[in-house]
Amino acid sequence: MNAEGIAKRYAGLQKVGAVTDVEAQNGFTEATALRAEYNKAKQQIQVAREAYKQAQEHFKLAVSGGSKEDVSVSQAAVLQAQARVDKLSALLAQTIIRAPEDGLIVKSEARHGEIAVAGQPIFTLVRDNRLELKVNVSETQLLLIHPGQMAEIRPRRNSQEVIIGKVREVSPSVDANSRLGIVHIDIPKSDRIIPGMFFHVDIDTAKDRVLAVPKEAILDADGSSYVYVVENDRVKKVEVETGEDFDNNLEVKSGLKPGQKVAISGASFLKDGDRVNVVDHQ
């Protein structure tokens, strides 16, 4: 029925020149072939059912007046016919794909004649108009995310427009090359969201507040990390211990105190004791 519906739409589009004659003919051919296969399967089931009825009649006759051997033969014929009916019914059932829930198909990967492969999607279904956001998360952060956590979703990083979602599922593995895992977030239905859009997502994973500085403020030398702390318009080299990576910032576990100013722009060109012109970083 789906193939026939597509063929009808293609026929209408062909009339207005929206699709080529070849595309329209392919749609019609595919629908015709599928309908022929379906009708053939129905005929085979009908034949099997008639054979089953005949076997039942033979069995009744054998029971009412035949010998013990006739009864056994007829009973075997009935079982054989029933097995054929069951087999053909199972084969016919395999030609029908049923969605687990109501929804709207937004993408079809199925092609006539192809063999379905486990794990390969056939259709993409928007279930009950529900939407899901897939977020790529680094392996270090993935372990901090759990189902049920809230997520702030924005069309842009600094946008004031916020949509609240909830983490539904966390990928049990990470990609061997990118070292990223996927977090699935349920998002509410909205006229501002359609499948295929991209968003910036914030998921609060920290249990405690931490001290962090921009990545460009952290310098490395001889296996150690350090920053330049600004005091009275001069810089002082301070060794620090870094921790978690928070997008453009790095956690500082030790070496700094909250409120201290650190050099960011041009930090790699400074030396301990250099005089600097302080400009607040926005």
CA torsion, ordered 51, 53, 58, 64, to nearest 10 deg: 170
For residues 166 and 105, give the distance between their C-alpha atoms in angstroms, rounded to a whole number.
24
For residues 212 and 144, give the distance between their C-alpha atoms in angstroms, rounded to a whole number.
18
- Which of 56-70, 84-98, 122-136 is least confident? 56-70
Give pLDDT, residue 180.
92
16 against 260, higher pLDDT: 260
Q: What is the arithmetic mean of pLDDT over 39-54?
A: 83
- Alpha carbons within 13 angstroms on the beta-carbon side of residue 79 total 6
Supply the angle between the helices 68-93 and 21-65 in degrees, to the nearest 10. 160
Question: 249 and 215 in contact (C-beta within 8 Å)?
Answer: yes
Q: What is the arithmetic mean of pLDDT over 240-258?
A: 86
Phi, psi of 277 (to 5 degrees): -100, 115
Position 202 pLDDT exceeds 80: yes
Q: Which residues pair with 169 in a beta bridge?
A: 184
Give pLDDT, residue 86.
85
Amino acid of residue 233: D
Q: Give the CATH number of domain 131-203.
A: 2.40.30.170
Give pLDDT, residue 63.
65
Position 218 pLDDT exceeds 60: yes
Could you tell me which of 77, 197, 202 has the C-alpha nearest to residue 152?
202
* 31 pLDDT tier (thresholds 50, 70, 90): confident
| 159-186 exposure pattern, b = at least 16 Cβ within 10 A, e = fewer | eeeebebebeebbeebeeeeebbbbebe
282 against 256, higher pLDDT: 256
Beta strand pairing status for 131-138 and 200-203?
Answer: unpaired
Give pLDDT, residue 206.
61
pLDDT in tens, 78-102: 888 888 888 888 888 777 777 777 7
- Fold classification of 212-269 is 2.40.420
Give pLDDT, residue 204.
77
In the chain, domain spans: 2-93, 131-203, 212-269
Position 66 pLDDT exceeds 60: no
4 against 251, higher pLDDT: 251
Give pLDDT, residue 281.
54
Could you tell me which of 22, 266, 2 has the C-alpha nearest to residue 108?
2
Inter-CA distances, 105 with 47, 118, 125, 131, 272, Å: 36, 19, 4, 13, 63
Position 8 pLDDT exceeds 80: no
| 49-60 exposure pattern, b = at least 16 Cβ within 10 A, e = fewer | bebbeebeebbe
